[in-house]
A and B are shown apart, each in its own frame.
Chain A
């Protein structure tokens, strides 16, 4: 009878393994070479051609860029605008900053997603796949930049955020916003190359730039990089996010799962047998 009990218990534990192995391949060894965009805010003139190109490319309402009223106060990206340009009055005058998904090297949203609907492609873009998503919005809770946006007024809602024009990239084209930028404030390329270019610009014009590249190390490094003349706090950037990739915050917990899943049943069954007063066999 004891042996039968034991087999029952171990069978159940085995079932649990198939369901809940904590380790997975996706995201554990992300590619070190991936595409990104360098934003040089000292070059941006706030024309919002990028917003327009983005809306056209992805079929959103095209903003009226002739009217600057939209720049009056900082806006956030939304479910109908994957990118917005904001104006900040800084210690060195007016500065324009484009915002969109940062395309993290190790994104929180993809680690959060229980169906891998949020997916970091090897090329770099973090994309959303509708056939997998169940609309739980855990990606929104987890994203340190608050980028995924949800369509609250649709019966069949989608998560909306910049996908770095993944379709265009596969056709060998640049992202729409980069192509539309008239002042080369946006530069598309491999992150490694963009980092070199950014460093060269700071080196050549040390007085023009604050000596930091936002996105180099933030949350483990992002695909989008920013150069600025003023400290990034003045431009509405969060500088308190740390340099730890966000999936690290849950990794320890997930690694503990197999330990508990197998250690605890052994302990419990042992306790049960120890606490028995009857010796039938």
Chain B
């Protein structure tokens, strides 16, 4: 475990930073052995991509302008990051203290997901040096859903950074900054939840004008609402899945008391996910019946649709409900994996698989596209790990919170000063 050092002056800060940048723990872990070559290979691919054009490493075409990098990295990745707004809503708006222990890890996950997965968007841009145009007003495309989404990505990243900043302040031992930053948390959360609800649905709204291209089983004018509702249970499932892994990998970071309470948290999250999934399933069924899509269910596309909606929404929904009722953590974990697969399938269906479904030449991601995606995921895990080992994300009780507590309870960082 790291020892906190006081940061008094500039020199102290730099030596502190240097000590923090030094690697901790074993170097030759299985994850390192796998991820380092992937990251190096990915960087090599990116050099080719930025010198020879997107076509040199991707299978993108005039028929498939958006492929795996958008469909998986951005559209799916952002749905997975939905946990941050759901949990901050529960803890800071509804004051559900039960979920307080997972707030920091969830917000960190959300922040990194946006930085890396939405950041992966820049890799897909043909002219990335113009990425600042919609920000600086060259021009403001007010009529564009993508304009909304890009602004919201930017603002939401800043909001998440603000939500996470008290942890950084604790790490640096900056007590006053921490107090100021945590006093901004409620405003940041309110703003963050609002932005999230708009850009989660906005990602779906991107596909509204692709009406003639998306298979009718997946196209609906309600795609934005589907995306919003599914981001709730995607995010909750991601917390369950990721939390299960974190609790193994970072177990010495966690207060033993928290191991027990984590099961309660998981059951609570599963309850929320089950309800959101049932609403989602019900709404999609309603659209299905209303649009009289019976005839479309025959054949391969119909089977694929049923696999998604029954196999990877309704079934994990029931599994969650069963797990909650019988306090069966194992079945909840399996349900979370199925749910995440269902989200991957849904987002890829809309963005890639059922997009231009009757095209003569189908799109499949090239190996380079997959390696770069793995690179992005690996890099995110590296940063996550670096932060968790250094900042008080999982470890220590952190009473963030109301000013009242602030006055009486010494912030944990004070103890280590």
Contact = CB atoms under 8 A, between A and B. Distances in A.
A13 interface: yes
Interface in A1-36: 1, 5, 8-9, 11-13, 15-16, 19-28
A260 B63 contact: no
B194 A268 contact: yes
Nearest to B191: A12
A160 to B, nearest CB: 10
B141 A116 contact: yes
Contacts of A268: 89, 93, 189-190, 193-194
Contacts of B51: 155
A69 B95 CA distance: 72
B313 to A, nearest CB: 23
Contacts of B207: 141
Nearest to A268: B190
Which one of A20, A27, A155 has the greatest number of beta carbons of chain B within 10 Å? A20
B68 to A, nearest CB: 14
Given A19-B155, A113-B141, A134-B128, A260 B211 contact: no
A77 B159 CA distance: 44
Interface stretch (A57-65, A143-151, A204-212): A143-151
Contacts, number: 211
Contacts of B155: 15-16, 19
B139 A260 contact: no
Interface string A203-225: 00000000000000000000000
Contacts of B147: 20, 114-115
Interface in B174-223: 184, 186-191, 193-195, 197-198, 201-202, 205-213, 221
B44 interface: no
Interface in A63-107: 76, 78-79
Given A113-B141, A114-B147, A153-B55, A135 B127 contact: yes
A12 B187 CA distance: 7
A108 B209 contact: yes
A78 B150 CA distance: 29
Contact of B60 (A79, A146, A152): A152
Contacts of A238: 212
A44 B139 CA distance: 40
Interface string B119-143: 0000011111011011000111111
Interface string B81-110: 000000001001111000000000000000
Interface stretch (A179-187, A192-200, A228-236, A246-254): A246-254
Contacts of A108: 209
A157 B54 contact: yes
B374 interface: no
A79 B205 CA distance: 28
B190 A140 contact: no
Contact of B197 (A24, A133, A260, A276): A260
Nearest to B129: A134
Contacts of A278: 402, 404
Contact of A24 (B124, B131, B140, B189): B140
A142 interface: yes
Interface in B226-273: none
B53 A152 contact: yes
A165 B209 CA distance: 27
Contacts of A136: 124-126, 146
A154 interface: yes
B95 A16 contact: no
Contacts of A27: 143
A240 to B, nearest CB: 7
A275 interface: yes
Contacts of A271: 93-94
A9 B187 contact: yes
A249 B194 contact: no
B403 interface: yes
B7 interface: no
B347 interface: no
A141 B65 contact: yes
Interface string A260-280: 110011001101100111101
Contacts of B195: 16
B62 A150 contact: yes
14 contacts: A5-B186, A19-B155, A22-B148, A76-B62, A135-B130, A140-B62, A152-B54, A153-B53, A153-B55, A247-B143, A247-B209, A249-B221, A257-B198, A275-B94
Given A138-B206, A261-B194, 14 more contacts: A5-B187, A8-B184, A9-B186, A20-B148, A76-B62, A112-B144, A112-B145, A113-B141, A114-B150, A133-B130, A137-B66, A253-B201, A268-B193, A278-B404
Interface of A: 1, 5, 8-9, 11-13, 15-16, 19-28, 76, 78-79, 108, 110-116, 131-138, 140-142, 144, 146, 149-157, 238, 240-242, 246-247, 249-250, 253-254, 257, 260-261, 264-265, 268-269, 271-272, 275-278, 280
Interface of B: 50-56, 58, 60-63, 65-66, 89, 92-95, 124-128, 130-131, 133-134, 138-148, 150-152, 155, 184, 186-191, 193-195, 197-198, 201-202, 205-213, 221, 224, 402-404
